[in-house]
Amino acid sequence: AQSVTQLGSHVSVSEGALVLLRCNYSSSVPPYLFWYVQYPNQGLQLLLKYTTGATLVKGINGFEAEFKKSETSFHLTKPSAHMSDAAEYFCAVTGRGSTLGRLYFGRGTQLTVWP
């Protein structure tokens, strides 16, 4: 089965600082990778996804992520944090074969942005 590890359940940064949220996956073949964001009392919203092609993926709100096959990583970054970025972020990977339909999620990283 697929699995996703998000290092750091909580990350705090100052407004304007670099945001780096880490995600590693386990897969014997390159999967499809996703980052979702969850604002308080709201459902999940897709930030970006990697399927095929360019390994640097740009998403909404200035976020981007780079797929590194050799490191089995898909870390999420944003050059300059904004207060509105405070939320919980989930990395996810699709299954393979009979589990192609499902997403496997990491446990999430809560991002706090200090003024």
Partner 1 sequence: GAGVSQSPSNKVTEKGKDVELRCDPISGHTALYWYRQRLGQGLEFLIYFQGNSAPDKSGLPSDRFSAERTGESVSTLTIQRTQQEDSAVYLCASSRPGLAGGNNEQFFGPGTRLTVL
Q: How far is the CB of 14 from partner 1 (least distance, A)?
A: 25
- Length of the chain in terms of residues written: 115
Q: How far is the CB of 75 from partner 1 (least distance, A)?
A: 17
Please, what is the Cα angle at 59 between 44 and 92, to 5 degrees?
45
Using CB under 8 A as the binding rule, whether residue 44 contacts partner 1 is answered as yes
**Hey, which residues between 11 and 40 contact partner 1 (CB under 8 A)?**
32, 34, 36
Interface residues with partner 1 (CB under 8 A)?
4, 6, 9, 32, 34, 36, 41-46, 49, 51, 90, 92, 94-95, 98-108
